[in-house]
Amino acid sequence: MRLDAGHQKLSHKPFGTFTFPPEFALRHTSPQMDVAPFRIHIDRQALAAFCRARGIRKLSLFGSVLREDFDPVRSDVDVLAEFEPDAHPGLKFFGYGDELGALLGRKVDFNTPGWLNRHLRDQVLREAVPVYEQT
């Protein structure tokens, strides 16, 4: 893989290798962002409203959206949500993936740390990249 000057190469198994461009931090501060390493568009204001309305304190992406093998046509987006301690979504939780999928324009696999496979949980938590975090 070719790395341009200033790119940082990260390699973790089993999820592969990906690079973050130097302007990545700037993209996290704009209201609308194209998340370059993920190759998806995120409307940060809509995402923040989604998270606040559901008591989500942190929303991160993980999995193929972080890797070069992400297929913009066929790949889903793996999402990790951490809720406020007093948030109790109940059965509404099971619709959050579809709601977020409508916002992102693609299928979403919506997870919490507790729902992750116990054999992969630590790896996912290390590699997950936050796209929303309550301040």
Q: What is the pLDDT of residues 105-120, one digit of tens each?
A: 999 999 999 999 999 9
Q: Strands, E, within the chain: which ranges?
A: 8-12, 16-20, 32-35, 40-43, 56-62, 77-83, 108-111, 129-133
The pLDDT value given to residue 38: 59
Read off the pLDDT band of 2 (50, 70, 90). very low
Contacts of 38 (CB under 8 A, 6+ apart): 61, 65, 66, 70, 77, 129
Indicate the number of domains in the chain: 1
Classify residue 3: in a domain, yes or no: no
Classify residue 1: in a domain, yes or no: no
The pLDDT value given to residue 55: 97
Structural domain of 46: 8-133
Q: What pTM was computed for the model?
A: 0.72
Closest CA to 82 of 51, 47, 40: 51
The pLDDT value given to residue 135: 81
Task: Give percent above pLDDT 90 in the chain.
Answer: 61
Classify residue 2: in a domain, yes or no: no
User: pLDDT tens, 32-46?
Assistant: 444 445 578 899 999
Residue scoring higher pLDDT (1 or 100): 100
